[in-house]
Amino acid sequence: MKKTLASWLLLMALGACGVREEGIRFHLALDFRPARATRAEGTARQFLNDRGDRITLTRARVTLSSVEIHPCATRTAWRWLRALSPVGTAHAHSEGTPRRLGIPHINGLELADGEPVALGTLRPPPGRYCRAHLVFAPADADAEGLARHGDMEGRTLMLEGEWIPAGGGVPRRFHVESDGVFNAEVSLDGVDLSEDALEAGRTLHLTYDQWLDGVDLAAPDVSEQVLRNVARAVTSAR
């Protein structure tokens, strides 16, 4: 009898823990913002890149294919992860997992700088999470935002606008698009999720004025370099 009662109490305790852990929520959002001085006029953005070229973005759209959060790793494991190639493999569209949002989202500069858009809510197991793995990949037919940006199906990135070289001259038109796949690793600065801290969130910042840094827009094919810059120019904040 004592053994049966002890077993029953243990099952009740485990069940109670399970109910509380199922309440864990980790909210993810995204916004666009500049890292340097930028002038905004409607959906257009004007700024200088690191070469001194004067850029006017009249259209900028990007597809974030998935976001997955990872538990804190040892320093050695972190160095190994950071050394991985940024070229990734896109996952098939899915509802994701408790730690992964698998629905692609298309967003662009129709959002005001700093205006967040919700990506979704994860329900991960308890733990301390230190990084997020992002995949930029082509939008599929079920991507969020495709109704507004129908020309993004099959595309990861599309930029259009004008630029004036640092040395001066007349404005030149440019159009950059890519269907490539790139990974990004973003620090979460140690998010603790537990029975005592059931809810947290982070906003991913896409710093669009860094996307054309080091880029010669007169070059015949700049799409890979631009997409690499997009993947690199991501930070996160509470």
Count CB atoms within 10 A of the CB of residue 76: 8
In a domain, 105, yes or no: yes
| Mean pLDDT over each residue of the chain, to the nearest integer | 86
pLDDT band at 88 (very low <50, low <70, confident <90, very high): low
In a domain, 3, yes or no: no
In a domain, 159, yes or no: yes
In a domain, 10, yes or no: no
Give the whole-number percent of the chain exceeding pLDDT 90.
77
Give the predicted TM-score (pTM) of the model: 0.83
Cα 179 from chain centroid (whole Å): 16
Strand order in the sheet with 199-206: 117-122, 25-32, 199-206, 234-237
CB 75 within 8 A of CB 137: no
Taking residues 148-152, what's their average pLDDT?
95
Looking at residue 79, what is its pLDDT? 53
pLDDT higher for 87 or 127? 127
Structural domain for 40, as ranges:
25-237
Q: Name the domain count of the chain.
A: 1
Report how far residue 135's alpha carbon sits from residue 94's, in angstroms, rounded to the nearest whole number. Answer: 14
In a domain, 14, yes or no: no
In a domain, 83, yes or no: yes
Reported as type and span, the H/E element at residue 7 is helix 2-21
Please check the confidence at residue 2 and state whether its pLDDT lies above 50: no
Looking at residue 146, what is its pLDDT? 97
Structure tokens, 67: 């976001």
Reported as type and span, the H/E element at residue 186 is strand 182-193
